[in-house]
Structure 1
């Protein structure tokens, strides 16, 4: 058991070396070590603050993006609604114009029919008059001496008879 025997001299010198080492460490090493630990702590805190700021900024950006999407959807809905209204108005306008054109065409067709009817009646009148003149010439040729008298007689007879 010689190995575990305490010696006072060795203990004394170890204590002095420890105190000198502690003094040197306190004088030269503790401040730089504590400063580097403090700097590391500050950089970690700054990184955490930056991460928190980035998280908040991302949250704000997400909220802004959602707001922009909502506004874009609303604008799209408004544009679609306006386009539908314009389409309906264009259809209504085109329908109105078509109806007006159809009425105009019907009116012009009726007018053309009326004019054609009148022209046909006039032609029939003329043919009846010429036939009547021929017949009247034969019948009245002895009594009337001129063709002019024949025409007057036929015209007066035609005026008496009204055609549809």
Structure 2
């Protein structure tokens, strides 16, 4: 049983050694250990603060990115609307110009047809006049072949004129 129960002398020596050890540890080891732990705690605190700051900056950058994307989408939509309006204006203008050009061409064609019609009628009248003269000439030659008939015809003409 001696081994299980310590003697008073042993307890006193253990206590003295423990106190001396605590004294030396507190004098020489505790300050550096506590200083190291405090420095480590400070580094961790700074790292956490930096991480929080980076998180905030990242959120701010994300918000700016979203804002810029929205602005870009709005600008894109405006540009598309303007492009569609310009396209419609150009299309409408081209259609108007096409209609005006079509009307001009139709009017010119009508004028040309009228002019050609008048020329054709004039040529036809001239041709009919020439043919009438030729027919009259042939008829007169036939009728006036004989001298008596010529004389009679001239007298009738003179009588009608007088």
TM-score by length of 1: 0.79
Task: State the SS of the aligned residue for 1:2.
Answer: coil
Aligned length: 144
Q: Distance in 2 between matches of 1:11 and 1:46?
A: 46
Deviations 1:104-161 (A, max 9, x none): 11011101110111111111111122123224434497579xxxxxxxxxxxxxxxxx
Change (3 A) 1:13 1:90: same
Map of 1:40 onto structure 2: 40
Which segments of structure 1 move beyond 4 Å, counting only runs of 4 or more?
A: 140-144
Map of 1:126 onto structure 2: 126
Q: Distance in 2 between matches of 1:5 and 1:55?
A: 61
Give 1:11 deviation, angstroms.
2.6
Task: State the SS of the aligned residue for 2:3.
Answer: coil
Matched, 1:19 2:19: yes
| Map 1:145-164 → 2, pairs under 5 A | none
Give 1:23 deviation, angstroms.
1.1
Map of 1:153 onto structure 2: none
| Larger mean Cα displacement after TM superposition, 27-36 or 131-140 | 131-140
Structure possessing the higher relative contact order (Cα contacts under 8 Å, 6 or more residues apart): 1
| Larger mean Cα displacement after TM superposition, 124-133 or 94-103 | 124-133
Give unmatched runs, 5+ long, in structure 2.
Answer: 145-149, 155-162
TM-score by length of 2: 0.79
Give unmatched runs, 5+ long, in structure 1.
Answer: 145-164
